[in-house]
Amino acid sequence: MSHLRVPLGTWIRTLLIAIAAVVMTAAPVFAAEIEIAVGAPERVSVGQDVEIKALLHQDGAPLEGAEVAVTYQAAIAGESGRVELATAVTDATGTAIMSFQQRADENGEMQVVYLGPDDDPVKPHTFTIAVEAGGEQLYQQQTGVRIPFVNGTLLIVVISGVWFLIALAAIYLVRVGMAGRITDRPSSEDGSIWISVALAAAAIVTAVGMVIVFVRAPVSNTHITDPDGYDRTIVNYLDVSYPYEGFGLDDDSDARTGDPLVDGSVLYFQYACAACHGLTGQGAVVGGALVDEIGSLSSFADDV
């Protein structure tokens, strides 16, 4: 069987030829890889306009005309996926600038992804941006009529006036007790004014407490401190990635009538979208318009 023995040199030559063949065959592929570099701020606050710069190179040269998007991972109604924040097309220098307003008070994992026109898979560039919660409340009712003197301050005056009178009556009762005290009587027969003192104290404390609650009420036309410096109530912004699971449907046939409009309506309410985004999805005080995102209740039903 020795005539079948292959010399080591032959093995080495064959291996080198094979490697050379593979390298030659795959070279164009490696040469075509698109590289994404990202320039993004490390820290932003809610309400701030954010600019993400993506630089694309192919084969070491700037890639022009490529569409990219910035996305983040989110979940809604038990469904999770990536939410697209902005898109842009690279210029002659291979640069794409994507802008969006920071709405969520957290972003999770963000990515700049290549959208084409090349169909070859391109590894997205993953990064994070630290978000400072609080900041600007993005959705506020814009309509309203400001009537001079008819405002929260007037209400405070009225409430204070009422409670002043209640406290005054209670103080009169304290004085009733004090006026009836007889010092030379045995103390065991003495009454007490503590009950009226307690009433007066309760009235005064409640009155003051109500005014304090009132004054602290956040961001409203009755708020008498500086709204810009106010940061107490957590406001949920659009795009926040709370994994809302909902209660589900007792009978899911409600959402399977075959009429996509009806199905979409049921789901839209069942998953409480309407609570923030309004009955028609066109925006409300808390949540903005979803019309662009979900298209219509029919397409929403399809998506869900």
Partner 1 sequence: MDTLTNWRERLISKTSRPTLVTTYRYWLWLALLTVVLINGMYQYSTQWRNGLYVTDMRDRISWGLYITAFVFFIGISHAGTLISAILRASKASWRAPITRIAEFITAVALIVGASFVLIDMGRPERILNVYLFGRWQSPIMWDVMAITTYLTASIIYLYAPMIPDLALYRDRLSKKVGTVRAFLYRTLALDWRGTPSQLKLLGKAITIMMLIIIPIAVSVHTVVSWIFSMTLRVGWNSSIFGVLFVAGAIFSGVATLILVMAILRRIYQWEEYLTEKHFVYLGYLLAAFGAFMIYVNINEYLTEGFKLEEAGEFAFRQLFIEDFAVMFWFYIIGGLLGPVVLMLIPKTRTIGGVVAAAILVDIAMFLERYFIVVTGLRVPLMPYEPASYAPTFAEWSIFAAGIALFCLLITIAIKIFPMFAVWEMTEEHEAVFAGADRAQESMATSGAPNAAAFIDGAPDQRQRTEGDAP
Closest separation in Å from C-beta 199 to partner 1:
6
Buried b (16+ CB within 10 A) or exposed e, 185-223: eeeeeeeebeebbebbeebbeebeeeeeebeebebeeee
The residue among 119 and 251 lying less far from partner 1, judged by its C-beta, is 251
Residue 44 CB contacts under 8 Å (≥ 6 apart), including other chains: 50, 102, 129, 130, 131, 132
Closest separation in Å from C-beta 230 to partner 1:
12
The residue among 17 and 168 lying less far from partner 1, judged by its C-beta, is 168
Closest separation in Å from C-beta 190 to partner 1:
7
The residue among 85 and 167 lying less far from partner 1, judged by its C-beta, is 167
Residue ranges that bind partner 1, judged by CB under 8 A: 152, 155, 159, 162-163, 165-166, 168-170, 172-173, 175-177, 179-182, 189-196, 199, 202-203, 206, 209-210, 213-214, 216-218, 220, 222, 232-233, 247, 254, 261-262, 265-266, 268-270, 279
Closest separation in Å from C-beta 97 to partner 1:
39
Q: In whole angstroms, what is the distance from residue 204 CA to residue 210 CA?
A: 10
Closest separation in Å from C-beta 196 to partner 1:
6
Contact 152, 214 (CB under 8 A): yes
Which is nearest to 128 in space by CA: 71, 60, 184?
A: 71
The residue among 13 and 256 lying less far from partner 1, judged by its C-beta, is 256
The residue among 14 and 257 lying less far from partner 1, judged by its C-beta, is 257
Q: In whole angstroms, what is the distance from residue 184 CA to residue 175 CA?
A: 19
Q: In whole angstroms, what is the distance from residue 87 CA to residue 64 CA?
A: 15
Q: In whole angstroms, what is the distance from residue 254 CA to residue 264 CA?
A: 10
